Structure 1
Amino acid sequence: MDEAGKQQAAVELMLQFAERTGLSSERPPRRYLWTDAFAVCNLLGLARAWGSVPLHELALRLVDQVHHVLGRHRADDPRAGQWISGLSPEAGEAHPTAGGLRIGKPLPERRPDEPFDPDLEWERDGQYYHYLSKWMHALDQRTRFTGEPVGNRQARELAAAAHAGFTYTPRPGARKRMVWKMSIDLGRPLVPSMGHHDPLDGLITVLQLRADRGDDPEGPDLDVELAEMTAIADHHDWATDDPLGLGGLMSDAYRLDQLVRRGAGGGEQLAPVLAAAGAGMSDYLRQLPLQRQARHRLAFRELGLAIGLQAVARLYEAVRRDPGPYAAIPAALRDLESLVACLPLTESIEGFWLRPEHRRSEGWLAHHDINEVMLATSLAPAGYLSLAGPAATAPSPTPQPLSGGAAHH
């Protein structure tokens, strides 16, 4: 499938998603923060690429619907309809992200008197930091694509609320840590352990929001949040063999590269992130995961990897044009080349999940919305990946070596 065909397929997927989840139809809105964050980026990128006003309007409608659904208490909560921030109706409209945003899970959050059930907790509502950071990115993309400061401002307000809610000091004098899952009102932890990549997501996102603030005098400056998130992320091991986590690391590496080249900071994380991604890919591929049948595969996790590999392709092109920050970290170049050797997996993953019979499998249908949206992201990734707008240079199909050494994986 050529690029035009991929974009057409992505548009069709996004229009089906919009109709099915009540964005462009009379169906009750079905909002889920992670999926909707990718969807906003997709719609913005496709709107720019196609010159489509309707897709642009869908993106803005989705932002508004997420804030009015996930920024308010659930229908089965005594506080139904109120902003989870506790703000008045008027103030909540002006600052819809000031109290964070719900995940959108089907079950209500665990009550304080209920015992913890690790399986049931996956289906319960609350707030996840890594979902909030994805929404911050989507809001910031809104500002980048429209030129309107409101998206970045709401993202900074969300970053400040999330940081206050999810970070804590375990003992006097210790560096802060993070909670993985908080209650809807950010009043109590639901899962106190720290998400593996949450500090990295937070650090990069705060750097991005500060860099994109421009001359907007309103909203938090995130100085304290940046200092504390830098300390939390310092010397952290990001290694994982989870495909979604690996794709996230690769996308983070590309975001870092773009920020470093803009003078926004973050260069100290380039080498650790690329090293973790390179090592993790080796571990992942040893398991022969892409040889399994559809019923034993999770599409959205594999598609997260495919998105990350496309970030690697773009990063590689940027480094070929200007090695810049990598001159002093040759190990990072070698890790990048090892990831470039894996680029053919992108077409393999996309091709597998584009086959109609695989999209009729139980696993696909169980996660229908997130699978379709992330397939659309993989087919047309510029809206999600690029911090310079969707007109960024496309990657070369035949990368050339950077360091002179043999690529490995």
Structure 2
Amino acid sequence: MRRDHPAMAPHPARKAATAEHDDAHRTAAALMHDFAVRTGVVGAAPAQRYLWTDAFAVCNFLALDEVDNAERLIEQVHATLGRHRADDARSGWIGGMDAQTAIEHPTRGGLRIGKPLPERAVDALPDAELEWERDGQYFHYLTRWMHALDQFARRTGQADAGRWARELAQTAHRAFTYAPAPGAPMRMYWKMRIDLSAPLVDTMGQHDPLDGLITDLQLRAHKPPGRTGFGPDLDVELREMAAIVAGTNLLTDDPLGIGGLLVDAYRLAQLLRVRPGDNPLLGLVAGAAANGLARYLATQPFARPLSHRLAFRELGLAIGLQAVTRLWCVLERESASLDAQPALRGALDRLLEQVPLARTLTDTWCEVARSDDAQWRAHEDINAVMLATALVPTGYIELDGSASSSSNSQL
């Protein structure tokens, strides 16, 4: 058959989609290259580590087939954020481990956020504004790092990374969860001291319990059969986190939070591999995301000047919206069961209508990134890395086939 035969010619829509994919890949690769150089992942610049951004960056490097950079970044995060700050009277690893133990268990003491200012002094009064700039440990940053380590372990087969994620999950759970009184429902602290000795902010993050629950499910599912020494089983953590989630309200009109709910819904669907009607949590998460997105869009947020918008929060929504079509593909395999859940189907229908918004947001912020915008530069690392995730989301939102279906479908 001749090469120019009509049957051999690419379909125009398919050809355009391929070109669009290649362009997104190139843009993401350029953003991640500049980030790697700027923050010392490669090259001579000193390492500048920030846990949230670095968790997304590891996943991006995996999506771009830059496994060496992902591994180098993991090593830097542990060596930097697993230790006390240079301006701290304390020194060494946060968990108090010796050097050899820290090599084997670098996450056992948790990981610092990487904020510019030291944590609040023990005798200092809280300052709500200043606390945003002070160091410590955040549970939702730790869960992002657990996810990044697990994704790395799944991609590379390096079991140590999976064990580090599970050890971090156990450490974080013990430090952040508590019972206000004997027999009272468990709660969580939002921010802890660097050494996890006491809370810095004792209110509970709205989605921290859900992040913990789904991450525990993910880590428990990825336990290679027959392998020993893979870290804690997380059964206790999973049960306790499920109980905390049962008492929380997931509804939010924050774009970053909505995006997180959408990614969580897709992760949950991938992990449980059950009919949607058998999983009430999935319906709750999808419904909260759909209702929250409607509230957010009702405020006409994109009519505001770009100077009044935060790129990384909107890009979090763009990432989540790209999980919606994937979620639909998973669920429609059991269409009869989905039809029996009108609330879940209704939420998915409303979410699918908004999927094109993801492209609008990435196009907007790609244009800003190419300019010399001062606000973009002020948060360049987190903005650039999350834009790269929105352009090439597979490393962050897709779990590979190694997850088992043994998780509890009734959560």
| 1:4 aligned residue | 22
| 1:84 aligned residue | 94
| 2:365 aligned residue | 353
| 2:211 aligned residue | 201
CA distance in 1, matches of 2:269, 2:48: 35
- Write out the 4+ residue segments of structure 1 that deviate beyond 6 Å after TM superposition: none
CA distance in 1, matches of 2:350, 2:289: 9
| 1:29 aligned residue | 47
- Structure 2 counterpart SS, 1:355: helix
Describe the superposition over 1:38-80 as per-residue Cα deviations: whole angstroms up to 9, x where unpaired. Answer: 0000001110xxxxxxx21000000000000000000011223
Describe the superposition over 1:308-333 as per-residue Cα deviations: whole angstroms up to 9, x where unpaired. Answer: 00001111122233448635532111
| 1:221 aligned residue | 233
| 1:94 aligned residue | 104
Alignment of 1:247-266 (within 5 A): 247-261=259-273
Structure with larger Rg? 2
1:235 Cα deviation after fit: 4.0
The question of 1:240 aligning with 2:252 is answered: yes
Describe the superposition over 1:330-361 as per-residue Cα deviations: whole angstroms up to 9, x where unpaired. Answer: 21111011000001101110111111477532
| 2:142 aligned residue | 132
| 1:61 aligned residue | 72
Residues 363/386 of structure 1: CA separation in 2 closer, same or farther (3 Å cut)? same
Residues 324/224 of structure 1: CA separation in 2 closer, same or farther (3 Å cut)? farther
Residues 359/374 of structure 1: CA separation in 2 closer, same or farther (3 Å cut)? farther
| 1:379 aligned residue | 391
CA distance in 1, matches of 2:85, 2:98: 17
1:293 Cα deviation after fit: 1.8
The question of 1:314 aligning with 2:332 is answered: no
Residues 359/181 of structure 1: CA separation in 2 closer, same or farther (3 Å cut)? farther
CA distance in 2, matches of 1:357, 1:129: 30
Partner amino acid, structure 2, of 1:45: A
1:213 Cα deviation after fit: 1.4
Describe the superposition over 1:94-114 as per-residue Cα deviations: whole angstroms up to 9, x where unpaired. Answer: 100001100000000001111
- Structure 2 counterpart SS, 1:190: strand
Q: Is the 8 A contact 1:294 1:361 kept in 2?
A: no
Partner amino acid, structure 2, of 1:22: G
CA distance in 2, matches of 1:73, 1:357: 33
| 1:300 aligned residue | 312
Unaligned runs of 5+ in 1: 48-54, 391-409
| 1:19 aligned residue | 37
Q: Mean alpha-carbon deviation: is it higher for 120-129 or for 353-362?
A: 353-362
Match among 58, 63, 70 for residue 40 of structure 1? 58
Identity %: 54
Match among 106, 124, 127 for residue 114 of structure 1? 124
CA distance in 1, matches of 2:234, 2:192: 21
Partner amino acid, structure 1, of 2:74: V
Partner amino acid, structure 1, of 2:75: D
TM-score by length of 1: 0.90
Partner amino acid, structure 1, of 2:157: G
Q: Mean alpha-carbon deviation: is it higher for 310-319 or for 178-187?
A: 310-319
Unaligned runs of 5+ in 2: 1-18, 403-411
Q: Is the 8 A contact 2:332 2:338 kept in 1?
A: no
| 2:243 aligned residue | 231
| 2:222 aligned residue | 212
Match among 155, 180, 188 for residue 198 of structure 2? 188
Tell me how many residue pairs correspond in the alignment: 381
Alignment of 1:108-187 (within 5 A): 108-187=118-197
Q: Mean alpha-carbon deviation: is it higher for 15-24 or for 354-363?
A: 354-363
Aligned alpha-carbon RMSD (Å): 1.8
CA distance in 2, matches of 1:196, 1:89: 36
CA distance in 2, matches of 1:340, 1:2: 21
CA distance in 2, matches of 1:137, 1:253: 15
Alignment of 1:268-347 (within 5 A): 268-323=280-335, 326=338, 328-347=340-359
Partner amino acid, structure 1, of 2:325: A
Q: Is the 8 A contact 1:267 1:325 kept in 2?
A: no
Partner amino acid, structure 2, of 1:32: Y
Partner amino acid, structure 2, of 1:118: A
1:176 Cα deviation after fit: 1.0
1:257 Cα deviation after fit: 0.6
CA distance in 1, matches of 2:105, 2:369: 44
- Structure 1 counterpart SS, 2:89: coil
Describe the superposition over 1:231-257 as per-residue Cα deviations: whole angstroms up to 9, x where unpaired. Answer: 000142100000000000000010011
